[in-house]
Structures are given as structure tokens and as C-alpha cells.
Structure 1
Amino acid sequence: MHIRYGYEITLTCQQPTALVCLLSVHEDRAADIRAPESFFTAPDVPSTTYRDLFGNRCRRLVAPAGDLMIWGDATIEDDGQLDPVLPNAREMAVPELPDDCLVYLLGSRYCETDRLSQIAWDMFGTVAPGWGRVQAVCDFVHNHIRFDYQQARSTRSAFEAFHERVGVCRDFAHLAVALCRCLNIPARYVNGHLGDIGVPVVDPMDFSAWIEVFLDGQWHTFDPRNNVPRIGRILIARGRDAADIPLINSFGPHLLKSFRVWTYEVPGPV
């Protein structure tokens, strides 16, 4: 299966403004790229790329005063399989965890483990450890939060989402990540492209957020927003929460003038 994906974003800045953009596919999927990313801006401005502390590809540029359109497009090969489900995957005790997992047990900007710890243990402490407990967390979050684009708020935390019971995919992900960490299960926040392949209901195209959880020695995908295995996830970035991997980090004020995302299956080579 081949999937074309991309974006067109226009920002308006009052003055020249430094940007760091996390919009390119993650290195973990680089070998699957079949049509390399075409990237340009209008007006044309120079840019450079680097890897951040989490291994994500970041692009630096300076937006001029006025409008700046940022455009990217690529095609990736995907196995066309649903997200794996491994019900026998076990939790690992903290002393068994690799060193690089430990940061994903700690509280972070949007995932307040200190405020949610007792809630997590009261709700899930008696659930058998392992895949089933993580799925129970995702089931709860999926049913607890009402999805509503009109109620999106960039500052909403996991604790606030728990009490407000409304949000968008990032809020579902933050709450599930925080609850898993409270239960001593490493969890990290992920964003990327997720089209409507294999699903009957078509939502407006957008970037998506989901989570990865460390069980049985490896990271596994869970999606508390959709809460069903999906086809064709295209990873962009991973971090502790959305503060680590904003799609666009602006070092000055800007307005989002337009936003378009596409993700769809295309014919492969004959």
C-alpha cells in the first residue's frame, strides 16, 4: 500500500519570526519513503534541519513579516496492516526497564502524574497488569472525553481534560499517557498523519495524536481517541507530551491563516 501525505499551512506574522517546525516523517519510517518529501515556502525562505533530543526531525526557518505558506508532500509505503494487538504483552517492573524509558514515567507539562496518581490507582489498581490494563485506560479515556473541535484549547492538561471531559485527540492522548505513567507504565505522546483508510466515517483531515506504551520490552501503539486498530499511521514525532513536539514552535506571535492536511491511498508502482 502507498499513501500520499502532506500539508499546506499559512501563517501571518507581524514581524520576522523564528520558527521550528516538526512536520516531516520520523526517521523510523525513512526507509519506507517512496516519493521523497517536497518542501517549499512562499515566499521562499532558507531553512535547515536538525534532530532534537527525542530523535525527531526539526526544520528551522525565519518567517518574514506578512504571510508565509509552508508546504510539504511525500509518498510512503505501508504494510496495510491494522495496528498490532498483543493481549499477552506484560508490564515490566521499574527496575527491569531500560534507562531511556524512565523519562516516560515522569510528570511533564501536560501530564500531571502528581495530580492523577491516586485517581489512576483507585480506578485501575485492581486491573490485571499488562496489555489489558493499558487497554482499560484507553477504554476509559475514550468514553470519558467528548471529542469536540470547537472546544480545543492548547493549554488544556491531562488533569483538566479529566475534569472537563471534552477535548481533541491531544487531550485523549495526554490523559491516557498520564494515567499509564501513574501506574508505572512508560508512555509517550505521538503525533503524525492518520487518514481514513479502512474506516467508514470520514472526519476532516488533520494531524493526529496517539500514544505509545512500553510493554514486554518494546513500544506499542494505542489510540484512546479512536480506540480501534487503524491502518496507515505515519509517524512524525514522539515526546513526553505536546510541549515537546508542537507542529510549529513560534518564537513570537503569529496567526494561523489557513491549514490543510491530506492523507490518502495512491496506486503503487506496477
Structure 2
Amino acid sequence: MPVSALLPLLPSAAPRLKERVFRIDCELSYEVSAPTDFVFLVHALDDPEQRISGESIAFHSKVPFHVFADPTQGHRFTRVRAEAGRFTLLYRALVRKRPFARDLQAPEHPVHELPDHVLHNLAPTRYCESDHLGRAALQLFGDLPPGHPRVQAIADWIHEHIEYAIGSTGPTTTAREVFVQRAGVCRDFAHLGITFCRALNIPARLAVGYAHFDEPPPDFHAVFEAWLGGRWVLFDPTKMSQVEDLVRIASGRDAKDVAFATLFGPARMLSMNPQIEAVGRLKL
């Protein structure tokens, strides 16, 4: 059966995990030297797997702002114009998550069966040079059973062979560089997973959101997801948090699509504190 024929059935037919409720409390502070425009991506996504029960966004100083939604992905941006001085964003939300259960036998799909809206997630991008790592991907994973087991093997390999090292990479580091230097942070782990998948003709993309960590200090989290069994399935090569508990903000081809803050002007970040807390579990 073509993948496209499965899509209308998934939201109601796929089994789900029990619902959990999470409280988000995010604070971002900046020192602004001159008038600066900000584009923030901090709102929790409202989709079939997670629902927003309530939310608010506010600023310590009086600034003009508005929220708009991406017309294709559904994630929401906040545009702000800040004058010189200290500037702080406060975002709070209550989110109810009921994700789809993981199908450990979910298959890969041949390219001719992929839905049109998924196809562009096979192409190399700025941070995910799948055209340069194709030989490595085939050598490492080409002979493994296709589907969920192969993508899980990719995530496991990254976890075992790439050192999680804060400060080892920067905003321009690519997957190929991470593969060579064998160190990075969560977005680098995710970029490498995406790159290996695309090199094997498995659509993959970056997902970012709020996650609980025992350590290091609070931060936004990046994982990757692969198109398997007619839907997107999350994988976290860092294994720092339960991937099912990620409160998603957005998905994109790589990090350039889903930066939590984009600045146009002279501003310096003073602090970042995106907190998430599990506040209940409801049996439906």
C-alpha cells in the first residue's frame, strides 16, 4: 500500500502512550546596545501529539511584538523590536502530551512512495552534507535491516562514537566536521543522524523543544526524526532525556530553520533558562 494511503489513518488508528502534562517556564535575557529586532521560536507546538492547555508570553520592558505561525509547519514565531537596555522574554505554557507509541518494526519506504511534503527531507542541507557522507553511511549501516532497527542503530552508533562536549562546536559546525572530530552537542548529534539517514534515502529532519536533563544546565534540546511507517519517529542520540517527553517547539531541515532566537542588531545574551516540569499523568 502506498504511504500516502496510510496518512489519513494515522492520527486515530495508531496506538498512543498515556497522556502526560508538562509545565514550561522559559526566560531569555539580553543586553541590547541599540535598537534590535528579534525573531523568537519558543512557543510549544500545538499538534495531534501535544495540546496547549494554556500559555502566555510577556516581556519585562514594554516592547512592540506580535506572534505569527508558519503556514506549512504550524510552529509559531514571535517578532519583537527592543530598544537599548536590558530585555527579558518570559514564556509559560501548560502542555498535554499523548504521543504515538513507537513501532519497532516500522519500515522504510522507497522514494517513489514518499509523500510530496516529505521528499525535500532527503536533500543535503547546510549542516547535513549527506552527499559527502554517503560512503561512510553505506559502510556503517548499509547492510543492516532497513526500517526502525537501522535508524536506531544510527542513533546508537552516534551515542557510542561521538563525545558530548560542550564548547567543542560552534554555530557553523556541520555534520561532516562532527564525524571527523568525534565531538559535539545535541544539535551536532542530531545533524549527524539526519545526514546518515538521508545518505541512505531515509527522510530525516531536526526537531527542537523543551526537555528535562539531570545535567548539564537547562537548555533547549535538539533530536532528529526519520520518516518510518508513514509518520515521523523521534530519535535522541544523546540519550540525555526521554525522547517521548520532548515538548516540541518546531521541526526543520536543519538548525538554520529552527533557531530559538534570531537577532538583527547589537544584543548580547545574558541568561537562558528554558525549564520543563512534569506535573501529572492522566489515564484516558
Q: Fold match, TM over 0.5?
A: yes
- Alignment correspondent of 2:262: 249
Q: Tell me how far 1:230 sits from its aligned partner.
A: 3.9
Secondary structure of the structure 2 residue equivalent to 1:259: strand
Aligned residue in 1 for 2:222: 209
8 Å contact from structure 2 (residues 46, 52) kept in 1: no
Aligned twin of 1:4: 23
Q: Of residues 150, 153, 167 in structure 1, which corresponds to 2:184?
A: 167
| Aligned partners of 2:25 and 2:92 also within 8 Å | yes
Aligned residue in 1 for 2:276:
263
* Structure 1 residue aligned with 2:76: 57
Q: Which residue of structure 1 aligns with residue 136 of structure 2?
A: 119
- Structure-2 separation of matches of 1:6 and 1:217: 33
For residue 39 of structure 1, the aligned residue among 57, 66, 83 is 57
- How much is the aligned-residue C-alpha RMSD, in angstroms? 2.1
8 Å CA contact 1:139, 1:227 repeated in 2: no
Asked if residue 101 in structure 1 is aligned to residue 113 in structure 2, the reply is: no
1:134-157 CA distance string (max 9 Å, x none) = 011111111121112232411111
Please report how far the alpha carbon of residue 11 of structure 1 lies from its aligned counterpart in structure 2 after TM superposition: 1.2
Secondary structure of 1:243's aligned partner: helix
What letter matches 1:37 in structure 2? E
TM-score (normalised: structure 2): 0.86
In structure 2, stretches of 5+ residues that fail to align are 1-19
Structure 1: which amino acid aligns with 2:104?
P
C-alpha distance in structure 2 between counterparts of 1:237 and 1:16, whole Å: 27
Question: Runs of 5+ in structure 1 lacking a partner?
Answer: none
Q: Which residue of 2 aligns with 1:131?
A: 148
Most deviating of 44-53 and 176-185:
44-53
What pairs with 1:151-166 in structure 2 (closer than 5 Å)?
151-166=168-183
Taking only the aligned residue pairs, the percentage that are identical comes to 36
For 2:252, the equivalent position in structure 1 comes to 239
Report if the CA contact (8 A) 2:33-2:266 is conserved. yes
CA contact (8 A) 1:105 1:185 kept: yes
Match of 1:19 in 2: 38
Provide closer, same or farther for how the CA distance between residues 256 and 216 of structure 1 changes in structure 2, counting only shifts above 3 A: same
Counterpart-to-counterpart distance in 2, 1:243 and 1:98:
23
User: TM-score, normalising length from structure 1?
Assistant: 0.90
Aligned length: 262
Deviation for aligned residue 1:48: 1.1
Call closer, same or farther: CA 1:30–1:44 in 2, change over 3 Å.
Answer: farther
Among candidates 155, 159, 163, match of residue 146 of structure 1: 163
